[in-house]
Chain A
Amino acid sequence: MRVRVEQTALPGIGMRHDLLTESGRRLGVVSHRNGRRDLVLYDPDDPDSCQHDIPLTDDEAEALADILGASLMLGQLSGLREQAAGLLTEQIAIPASSKYVNRRLGDTKARTRTSASIVAVLRQGEVIVSPDPAFRFDAGDVVVVVGTRKGLDGVTAILADSDPDG
């Protein structure tokens, strides 16, 4: 990590992490000992004082972390696409009629059959990064797949398959 994150103990309260962005804004997170956390944004005119103090619930913090992480991941994926010619990234929605709804990722045998990898699943605004073979699909899940054109088309076909006997 090239960004310098300052860590400061707040005796009796918890811990504060803050960093200075390239654009010159300071922002941080106050982690309370009881598990509560606040996102704090500092005043540009008075860098010692926080202008906004936004309490985040567990779910909100997780959602925010996922959004930030996901934008980063997708950015890295598109970078990857540029590096390796012929390698593509696609988001494929699982149709409700798919036979893999409620079944495990491992059951699709997608990688062995198409050489394309499922690297993430987007579910209700959340990102599940690197789902393991035991991961169960839901209707409406969107999978992020990396592979060749042929491989991606193969995964699309597998996931669209509605015949229970394969």
Chain B
Amino acid sequence: MHEETTILLIEVGALLFLLGLLGRLGRRIGLSPIPLYLLAGLVFGHGGVLPLTASEEFFAVGAEIGVILLLVMLGLEYSAGELVGNLRSAAPAGLIDGVFNALPGAAFAFLLGWDWVAAIVLAGITWVSSSGVIAKVLADLGRLGNRETPVVLSVLVIEDLAMALYLPLLTAVLAGTGLLGGGIALGVAVGTVMLVLVVAIRYGHLISSAMSAKDPEALLLGVLGLTLLVAGVAAKLQVSAAVGAFLVGIALSGPVAHHATEMLSPLRDLFAAVFFVFFGLVTDPRDIPPVLLPALALAVVTMGTKTLTGYLAARRVGIKEPGRWRAGLALVPRGEFSIVIAGLAVAAGSVEPKLAALATAYVLITVVTGPMLARLPDFAWFKLWLRQRAVTQRAEPLVTTD
């Protein structure tokens, strides 16, 4: 065997094995594995404790596939009907979400003296919550049946749908095609998304029936092949590979989608881990200390705005005070998507180099503290505080009318 290949095998094997141990550890202490993977990447990357040499190319390609798989699985999670059916009722909440959470990110980038490209990137990073982490937290806390949970989920759906429009725009902006190019890219993206949604709603069963759910191997190869192919073509058309993959996921429905989810999940877990590690690898840990305080400040601000988003969205549909807090605090974690956005920006190389470090620190903070914050409303003292608040609120109007 080639000397380089041997070292590659050793490096990749050792790192994956380590990730396995870390994932186990994370689960033991109730932590999302994402921050652990990022930290592992930081340790073994450029400027880390023990830089890897031979395997970087493997991780680079693996990371690309990881993003595509993350997106196609996201698309598989929702049916086109759910996305569209949800749209009208959830749009106001989605709008509040976008305004409250994208703007602080953009403002922060200007505050740090970065250009408007960096502002668009940072806006995206602070905007999207992690649907993966949040769905898991809700399930872990036994809140899937809660009446505010559909509100939380619909905000996530809107965010994911918004990403289908945001990512191609971002790709165009990063490629430096200017306002016109960006506009065209956005137009193409909007058109494609609409077309796919219509096709998926009307003819989704035809596309799905072209792939038999019965033969697992053929299904795996078929779905994976189609996804990579469409993602590649989308990237070639400057629409972003991620969006192409997302649309393939949406177009598939029924038993095919269900089986494909089962078959692709282990692959997604593998390559998503590779993606998070890769992001850590290409981030120089020496860049993090200087941006730690800004990241912390940004995290505090956007945690507040996310909580407010969930609070208001839940209030709109008549959820009571405790449920509003639960919805708000559950939305706090940012995760895989923020890293995807930062990853695109870093790969393009045309943004502020400190952005990767800031995004890493930011995601580390929110993804670790988020699930803890989500637990707050279950504590007795929090419930007591809410009850006292309710009492004083009820008392106040009486005072003013006197």
Contacts and interface: CB of A to CB of B under 8 A. Distances in A.
A46 B323 contact: yes
B322 A50 contact: no
A10 B153 contact: yes
B158 to A, nearest CB: 10
Contacts of A8: 150
Nearest to B154: A11
B142 interface: yes
A49 interface: yes
Given A46-B320, A46-B323, A11 B145 contact: no
A90 interface: no
A159 interface: no
A38 B320 contact: no
Contact of B85 (A9, A16, A52): A9
A34 B145 contact: no
B77 interface: yes
B260 to A, nearest CB: 13
B301 interface: no
B82 A9 contact: yes
Contact of A13 (B86, B144, B322): B144
A8 B317 CA distance: 13
B147 A11 contact: no
Interface residues on A, range: 20 to 34
A48 interface: yes
A18 interface: yes
B144 A10 contact: yes
Contact of A50 (B78, B142, B156, B157): B142
A42 B145 CA distance: 8
Given A48-B319, A48-B320, A49-B326, A11 B146 contact: no
Interface in B142-167: 142-150, 153-154, 156-157
B131 interface: yes
Given A11-B86, A33-B258, A49 B150 contact: no
Interface string A9-27: 1111100101000000000
B173 to A, nearest CB: 29
A8 to B, nearest CB: 5
Interface in A130-163: none
Contacts of A116: none
B323 A11 contact: no
Contact of A18 (B145, B258, B322, B326): B145
Nearest to A9: B82
B78 A12 contact: yes
B322 A11 contact: no
B135 interface: yes
A30 interface: yes
B150 A12 contact: no
Interface of B is mostly: helix
A53 B142 contact: yes
A57 B158 CA distance: 32
A48 B153 contact: no
Contact of A48 (B78, B147, B154, B156): B147
Interface residues on B, range: 20 to 34
B26 to A, nearest CB: 23
B146 A50 contact: yes
Contacts of A11: 77-78, 82-83, 86, 150, 153-154, 156-157
B153 A13 contact: yes
A49 B323 contact: yes
A9 B144 contact: no
Given A18-B145, A38-B144, A49-B143, A12 B258 contact: no
Contact of A12 (B77, B145, B146, B320): B77
B386 to A, nearest CB: 9
Nearest to A27: B145
Interface in A33-52: 33-34, 38, 40, 42, 46-50, 52
A143 B335 CA distance: 58
Interface in B61-97: 77-78, 82-83, 85-86
A127 to B, nearest CB: 27
Contacts of B148: 48-49
29 contacts: A9-B82, A9-B86, A10-B149, A10-B150, A11-B150, A11-B154, A11-B157, A12-B77, A12-B78, A12-B82, A12-B131, A12-B135, A12-B156, A28-B145, A33-B258, A38-B145, A40-B145, A42-B145, A46-B320, A47-B320, A48-B146, A48-B148, A48-B320, A49-B143, A49-B147, A49-B148, A49-B326, A50-B143, A53-B143
Closest 7 pairs between A and B when the two form their complex, measured CB to CB: A40-B145, A53-B142, A48-B323, A50-B145, A48-B147, A12-B77, A11-B82
Given A9-B86, A30-B144, A40-B144, 18 more contacts: A9-B85, A11-B77, A11-B78, A11-B150, A12-B156, A13-B144, A13-B153, A34-B258, A46-B320, A46-B322, A46-B323, A48-B146, A48-B320, A48-B322, A48-B323, A49-B323, A50-B145, A53-B143
Interface of A: 8-13, 16, 18, 28, 30, 33-34, 38, 40, 42, 46-50, 52-53
